[in-house]
A and B are shown apart, each in its own frame.
Chain A
Amino acid sequence: MPAQGSRTGLRIYREYVTLPRVLAVAAAAVALVATGLGGVALRDGSDAGGTASFVAGAVIGLYAVVLGLLVTRRHPANLVGAVLAWTGAFLILSSASETYTLTVAGADQLAAFSEGSWMWLYVPVALLALLFPDGRLPSPRWRMVAAGLLTVPVAFTVLVAMSPGPYPAPYDDVPRPLGTHEWAAPLAIAMLPLFLGLLVASAVSLFRRRRTADAVGRDRLKWLVVAGLTVPATLLLCWTSYLLLGDADLVVVGLAAMYVGIPTATAIAMLRHDLYDVDRVLSGTITYGLVSAALLSVLTVATFVSGLVVPGDSTIAAAAATAICAVLLSPLRNRLQRKVDEKLYPVRRGTLAAIEDLRRRAHAGIARPEELEPVLRAAMADPDLRVGYRMPGGTAMVDAAGNDRRTGAGATPVLIGDDEIGAITFSRGCPAPLAREIADASALLVEVVRLRLELRAALDAADAGRARLLRVSYAERRKLERDLHDGAQQRLVSLGMSLRLAQRHLDQQQLAQRDVDGAVDVDGLLDTTVAELATAVAELRQVAHGLRPSSLDDGLGPALSNLTSKVPIPVELDIQANGSLPDELTTTAYYVASEAVANTLKHAAARTVVLKVAQTDGQLRVRVTDDGLGGARVATGSGLAGLSDRVAALGGTFRVLSPPGGGTTVEAVLPCGS
C-alpha cells in the first residue's frame, strides 16, 4: 500500500527531520568544513602562534558542536542544542577565517569582513540565553530581540567593511571590496549600543524565566548562571594578569574557560541537570569568586605598600603578602560559604546545621536520635520524608518505632563503610549529591538509632521471655498443687478409709487376743497407721499450699486474710483490689506479701505489720510496712531478691525501704492494665 507507506514515511520524516536537527547538523557541517579549510590554510604556511590559536579555537569549537549534537539527539525539538552547536561553529569559523585570510593567497579580501565579525561570537551565546532551557522564546514579544541578534551583526559587519580608513596590520594595503563610504562608520558605531542593548535583553530574559520556571527548569537555569559566572571570572583573571604579569595574556585562559564552561554547563543542564548539586556548585563558585576577589584586593594593596617600604625586592614582598592573605582568608572562606549558603542554598545549609544540632543535643542527652526524621522533615520542608533503619542482621527497613517501613526504590542509602544501615526517601526532589551529603551526615545518628532499636528489641524479648517463664512456672505450680490434692492426697484418704473399714471388721476373737503376749495389736496398729496417713495428708496439704496457696482461687483478698490469720503479731489489713486480676499478678502480689511478712517475723522484731493492697490507675500496689529494726537488704539469692525478679518479670517495680531502726517497707507496683 504505497499511499499508506508514503504517509508513514512523511510521519517519520516529520518526526525525525526537525528544525533543531537540521540546524545542528548544518552547524556540524559548517564546523567541519571550516576546520578543513583552516587545516589546509595551516599547511600552506603559518607561524606557531597562529597555529596554536587555530587549534585551540577548533578544539573548543568542536567540543561545543559535539555537545550541541548530543543535546539535540536527546531533545530533538529543542533549539538549545542547535544554538549550542552554532556557538562552536562560529568559533571555528572565526578562527579558521582568520587563519585562512592570513595564509591563503588572494584570501585577504576576506579581511574586510573579519574586522566586524567578532560580533558573531556573541550571537549564539545571546540566543542561548534567550531560548534556554525549552528552546522557545519567553514570549512572542522577544522575537524582536532574536531578530535583532541575527540582523544587527550582519549590518555591522557590512558597515565596518565599508567604513573608510585602512585595515589594521597586516592588511594595510588591501583595498576595500565594497568601496568606502563616509556614512558607514557612524552607522556602524551606532550599531554598538543597539547590540549591547540586545545582549542585556537576552540576559534579562533569563531572570524573567526564572520566575515562571518549574523545579527542573530552575535547576537548568542555575547551571547557565554558573556558566555565566565565567564572565566575571574572566574579568578577575584580567585583573590578576595585570597584577602579576603586567599584561592581559591570562585573559585568554579565562576566555577559553568561558567557551568551554558555557557549552559544558548548557549540556549538563539539558542532559543531566541533576548530575551535580547545582546549588552547591553555584554557591561554591560564588564563594570562591568572592574570596579570590578579596585575596586579589589585599594582594594589590600589599604589593603597592611593600613596594613603597621595601623597594626593589618585590618577590619576597609578594610571597609574604600571599602568605598573610592565605592565613587571613582561610577562616573567612568558611564564614563566607555559610553566608552565601544562607542566601543561595538555604536547604543544604539548614539541613546540615539541623543534623549537626541534633547530633550535639543527642550527645548532650537532651534530644533523642530518633528525632532525625522530624528534624529532616522540618529542615527540608518535606513532610513525607522517610527515614528507614535496617536492623542488624535483617533486610527489612523499620521506622524509629520499630515498625515495618517501605523506603521505596528511589531511597538514598545511608552507609557506614560498605554496610547499608538505613535509607532516606525524599518525597520532594532532592539533588542526588545533596541527598548523599545528608545521608552521610545522618549516618552516625542512624547507626545509634538502629543499635537502640536492636537493644530495645532484645530487651523486649527478654522481658517477654521472663514474663512467659513466670506464667509457666505459676501454671506448673498450680497443676502440681491440683495433682497433689486430687491425686496423692485423695488416694491416701481413700486408703485410710479402707483401713478403717477393715478395722471395723476385725472379729472379736482377734480383738480378744489383744492382751495375749506376742500377739499383734491389729486394732492399735490400724489406728496408728490411719493417724500417720492423716499426718501425711496434712503435710501434703502444706506442700501444696507452699506450691501455690489454694486460697488464691478465692481471690487476692481472701488469700491475704488467710495468710495474715496465722501471723502471731497484729496485722492491719487494707485491701482494695476489686477487679478480677490475672493469675500471675495475684500470685506475685501474694508472694510479695507473704515473703515480706515472713521476713518481718524472722528478722524485724516488729510489734505490728500493715499490709496494704491498692488497685488504681492500671497499677496494683502491694505494700508491707512494719515497725521493726529495719536494715533489710535485697541480697543476691535472698527471698527479697527473688521477689524483685518476679516483680520485674511482670514489668513492675520493687523497692525496699529499710533504714536501721526505722522499720521496713517493702513495696511492689505491678502494671495490671485496668
Chain B
Amino acid sequence: MASAYVLRETGGNLVRNIVMTVAAVVTMAVSLTALGGVLIMRQAINKATVQWQGGVQLAIFMNPGASGQEIKAIGDELHAMVPQEVQKYWWVDKQKAYAEFKEMFAGEPAFIKVMTVQQMPPSYRVVPAKAQNVPQLAAEFNNQPGVHKVGYPQQAINQMLSHFSTLRTVALVLAAGVMVGAIALIVNTIQLAIFSRRREVAVMKLVGATNWFIRVPFMLEGLAHGLVGAIVAFALTYFSRGTIASFVGNNSLNYGAPLYVSPHEAVMTGVFILVVGMLVGTLGSAFAVRRFLVV
C-alpha cells in the first residue's frame, strides 16, 4: 500500500512538471556525459600506454628468438648501472608481453588472432635515474646482440598526455558548470512540486502522515531525475566511446592503431555515472525538501 502510494506520487510529480523534468534530466545527462568522457579518455590512454607505466621511459625489446645468454648480458649490464644511471628495471617475458599486446590492440581482434605468444618480443623496462639520460641509454643498448630495438616514446606519450590534460580540464569545467545548473534545476523542480502539492502536504500533516512518508516521493523524484539523466549519459558514452577516445589523438605508440576502450570498461564508467547521477539527484532533492517542505 505505502510503496504503491509512493510510486504513484513520484510518477505523478514527474509527469505534472514535464518541462522542468526534461530540463533537469537533459542538463544532468550533459554534465554526466562530459564526466564520463573524461573517464573514457583516461581508460583509452591507460590502455595505449600499458608498456609505459610506473615511470618506465625506456624499453629494450629483445628479438623473439634471442638466446638466454644475450638476455642475461643485457640484464647484467642494467644491473651494473643501478643506481647511478638506472633507478630500477624489470623483465617482461613473452607471456606478459602477449597480455599487454592483447590490451593495446583490443580494438583489432583480427590482428590479435594472427599473433602468438612465441612471436612476442620480451623486453626490459627501464626507469632511468635522470630523464635526460634516456637517449644516451638507448644508444648504448641499441646495437647489442639480441636486441630488436630500444623504444623511448616519451615525447609521443607526453604529447598525448598534455593533449588529454587540456581536454580533461575543459570537460571537467564543463561537467562541473552544467552540474551546478542540473542541481539548480532539480532543486527548483522539487520546489515547484512541493508548492503544487501544498494542499496534499497540509492534509497529510493534519492526519498524521510521518515526515518521511511526506518527503520520500519528492526525494525519489530527484533521484529519478539523476537516474534518467545518468542513463542517457551512460548510453551516450557507451556507444560513442570510440569517438571519445579518438579525441585524444591517434595512437602513434602502437603503429597508429586507434585508441580503444573495451565494452566492459565503458560499462564500469557507466556504473560510476549512474551512481553519481543518483547521488546528486537525491542530494539535490533532499536539499529542496529540507529547505521548502516544512514538516
A and B interact physically:
no
Q: Which residues of chain B have a CB within 8 Å of any CB of chain A?
A: none
